[in-house]
Amino acid sequence: MRGAVVTPEPGARSKQRQELIEELRHTLVRVLHLRCDPDEIDPDAPLFGTGLGLDSIDALELVVAVKKRFDLPVDDVDEGLRPLRSLNHLVDLVLEKRGGEA
């Protein structure tokens, strides 16, 4: 059907989401020079404060890395820090900006 939106099957969405989580875990460790194994990063744990303990400079570096890697406009004022609350929030943002479902 012409003009119809094709949404991936639930299994494909789940696989895509898991691949993004893995890639962003590695990005966090590499870009922010974290001293942990990427698999140790809980997707639901806060990135700031009691979670990974990131600061504002880390947030800036992470946003720049995500923008470059996924070629995304992540600088909307409306977004604020919500997408940076956790790895899962960041995955939601990437999927949303790519036109997929979060």
Domain boundaries, the chain: 10-98
So what's the architecture of 10-98 in CATH?
Orthogonal Bundle (1.10)
pLDDT tens-digit readout, 5-14 = 445 566 777 8
- Is 0.85 topped by the overall pTM? no
Instruction: Tell me 82's DSSP state.
Output: G
Q: Which amino acid is at 80?
A: G
Q: Which residues have a Cβ under 8 Å from the Cβ of 44 and sit 6 or more positions away?
A: 86, 87, 88
Cα–Cα distance, 46 to 85 (Å, whole number): 5
pLDDT tens-digit readout, 12-70 = 778 999 999 999 999 999 999 999 999 999 999 999 988 899 998 998 899 889 888 98
